[in-house]
Amino acid sequence: MDWNGNLRPFVSRPETSFSFLYNYNQYPGIEMKHDPVEVPAYHAVVPAMEKNSYGNQMEKKKRLATNQLESLENSFQEEIKLNPERKMKLARELGLQPRQVATWFQNRRARWKAKQLEHLYDALKKEFEDVSREKQKLQEEVLSLKVMLSEQVAKKPIYAGYAKISSEETVESTSERSNKARGTGHHQIGESSYVFNVDDYGKVMPPYWLGVMPSYP
């Protein structure tokens, strides 16, 4: 009820504002919290004209009832879009204005899309981690191969030149330059414009932001 809720003393707790960790909850499926009470087809019949306007108690009804939400959700799962027939049918069954059904679907699609981004992010994050690990492995492999090769070469002076070069550029993790090793040599991809950290031993670490996503600075 607060309305211009300002006449209150205030103290707020300004600083340290950025510290809450975000939670994570739902998944693609259905979600709900507390039920706004059962609601049969009641409003449907009522033109819904006068009530409200404060002071009355009869309405406060934002929030659709759980049974209505369930039906809408089920319907949404079947088909993300709404055709006129379905809309009217749902409206009739649930006692809602067709307009409300349409609105619900629009909002639901928007939520779905936002959620989609989250999932995409998680999936990408996983991919990234996998590839990073693989890259790590490959670096190690390259290193050991070069060692072997140079050992080989040590016995066959003919390839000394190669061995030298390779050991030189191996250690640094910013792989790349691989083609140089192959002989063609160019591709100065410049200094890796990317962010992730690599320690002195060539270990690849995921970017710092992979762990903490939300929560603003």
Partner DNA sequence: TTTTGGCATGTAATCAGGTTA
Partner DNA sequence: ATAACCTGATTACATGCCAAA
Applying the rule CB under 8 A, the residues between 60 and 79 that interact with its own copies are 61-62
Residue 162 binds which of its own copies, DNA, none (CB < 5-8 A, kind-dependent): its own copies
By CB under 8 A, the residues from 146 to 165 that bind its own copies are 146, 148-149, 152-153, 155-156, 159, 162
Q: How far is CA 210 from CA 84, 92, 133, 198, in A?
A: 44, 47, 14, 15
Number of helical (H) and strand (E) elements in the chain, helices listed first: 5, 0
Residues lying near DNA in the complex (CB under 7 A) are found at 1-5, 7-20, 22-26, 31-34, 36, 60-64, 69, 81-84, 87, 99-100, 102-107, 109-111, 113, 214-216
Radius of gyration of the chain (CA): 31
Residue 52 binds which of DNA, its own copies, none (CB < 5-8 A, kind-dependent): its own copies
By CB under 8 A, the residues from 37 to 56 that bind its own copies are 43, 46-50, 52-55
Site string for its own copies, 182-201 (x = CB under 8 A): x---------xxxxx-----
208 neighbors 197 (Cβ within 8 angstroms): yes
Beta carbon nearer to DNA, 104 or 204: 104
The one among 27, 42, 201, 216 contacting its own copies by CB under 8 A: 216
What amino acid is encoded at 174 in this protein?
T
> Is 166 exposed, middle or buried (CB count within 10 Å of its CB: 0-12, 13-18, 19+)?
buried
The one among 20, 24, 112, 208 contacting its own copies by CB under 8 A: 112
Closest CA to 24 of 126, 123, 130, 119: 119
Instruction: Return the sign of the alpha-carbon dihedral for residues 200, 205, 211, 212.
Output: positive
Q: Shortest distance, CB of residue 154 to its own copies, whole angstroms? A: 11
Alpha-carbon torsion, ordered 46, 49, 50, 52, to 10 deg: 90
Beta carbon nearer to DNA, 19 or 188: 19
